[in-house]
Structure 1
Amino acid sequence: MSIDYVLKIAGPMLEGAQMTVLLFFIAIIASLPLGFGLTILANSKSKPLSWFAHTYIYVVRGTPLLLQLLFICFGLPILPFVGKYLVLDRFVAACVGFILNYAAYFAEIFRGGLLAIDKGQYEAAQVLGLSRWQTTTKIIVPQMIRVALPAVANESITLVKDTALLYAVAVPELLYFAQTAVNRDFTIVPFFFAGVIYLLMAFVLTMFFKWLEKRFKFE
């Protein structure tokens, strides 16, 4: 493996990594609040809303992400009558798929965080005269985040790796350029290079979430 060859493939692969990072940030920023919203709906006293949230989470978590991406990219456009209005750019379709998928997983993580909070916290808030909004924002949510943070960190690292599924819907990302280089040059070096980039991204995320955990631990 020569330095010249590494420099030759580094440009296209780093360009693909930019697409990977972009998808990650779009998916994580949108799926976290959506997941929390689903948690609220799932715990709602309204049975239709609760049923909808639980059904959505069950269906999304029970089917492969790749299947969901293929359906959004290639299935929606061929639906009768409405299909022509649902034709999306491949990257946009992939973003929608990742957001909808990870929102369901984050919803379950947040639900677990809420279940870990002792009911006495709610009773103490009532005794102190706090409103429901104050109880939720000042007492419940901070504790829920502290409990859920390790699981959120793990799921975020999984999201980084799952971005490789963009390859299946013909979006040129990191793995796409690695595979192209392998097929062209008959060497597995690009795969190792891609692995190093994924590891670096996972390392940065791990350090970030460790910092967050320390911060919430001492607040």
Structure 2
Amino acid sequence: MNATAFLSMIPNMLIGCWEVIQIFLLTVLFAVPLGFLVALGRTSRFKILGGIIRIYQLIVRGTPLMLQLMFCMYAPSFLFGLTPHRFAACIIAFVVNYAAYFGEIFRSGIQSIPQGQYEAGKVLGYTKTQVFFHIVLPQVIKRVIPPTGSEFMVLVKDTALAQIIAQPQLFDIAIKTAAKNVSITPYIAAGIFYLIMSAVVEFAFKKLESKLDYYR
């Protein structure tokens, strides 16, 4: 690939990065709170609710994200005669998938808090809700930061799977540019962009983790 072709592909690559960022941000926006609800359901005393959520997590974590993307894209057409927007199908698949993983991370964080802290809160006159939000939750957040950061980094790379339903993003543009120019340079460039975005996520979580050191 000559210099002119290389420079001409950079704007398209940046557009692809913006698509990755949109998928990333929307997934985080919906999957994190949904994952928190999943964790609360798993730790609930209502066994039926916990069982339903376990089945959901088993299905989602036990099947490939690629398959889930295809299901969200094509199942509505077969079942209801509806054709969803590719971007919407992509976001739904990512949110449903990552909520299951975040839910497991948050559940383990909640259950890692010693039961004595709940009892101490009750002795001090706090309600169960107050104990959870004022005593337990701050510690849970601190404990789940490292695994959550790892999932965020995986999410940056998993956005490339949107290619399976022809949703435009960085990897999709790299494939088309490489085919057009018969060169691997677009793949290398895409890899560098993914690396930069992952590094930004890692840096942000490192800073967040350092700010929460006072919970030690």
TM more than 0.5: yes
Moved over 3 A (4+): none
Kindly report which structure 2 residues correspond to 1:1-219, keeping only aligned pairs within 5 A, or say none.
Answer: 2-79=2-79, 83-84=80-81, 86-218=82-214
Stretch deviating more after TM superposition (43-52 or 89-98): 43-52
| Unpaired segments ≥5 residues, structure 2 | none
SS state at 1:171 partner: coil
The separation in 1 between residues aligned to 2:30 and 2:71, in whole angstroms, is 20
Q: TM-score normalized by structure 1? A: 0.95
**Aligned-pair CA distance for 1:29:** 1.2
The separation in 1 between residues aligned to 2:43 and 2:108, in whole angstroms, is 12
* Alignment coverage as a number of residue pairs: 215
Aligned amino acid, residue 63 of structure 2: T
The separation in 1 between residues aligned to 2:83 and 2:55, in whole angstroms, is 26
**Aligned-pair CA distance for 1:115:** 1.9
| Unpaired segments ≥5 residues, structure 1 | none
**Aligned-pair CA distance for 1:197:** 0.3
Aligned amino acid, residue 110 of structure 1: F
Question: Could you report, residue by residue, the CA deviation over 1:33-92 in whole angstroms, capped at 9, with x for unpaired residues?
Answer: 00010111111111221111111111111111000110110122101xxx12x4310010
Aligned amino acid, residue 26 of structure 2: I
Aligned amino acid, residue 179 of structure 1: I
The separation in 1 between residues aligned to 2:33 and 2:118, in whole angstroms, is 23
SS state at 1:17 partner: helix
Q: TM-score normalized by structure 2? A: 0.96
Stretch deviating more after TM superposition (86-95 or 22-31): 86-95
Aligned amino acid, residue 159 of structure 1: L
Q: Provide the identity percentage.
A: 37
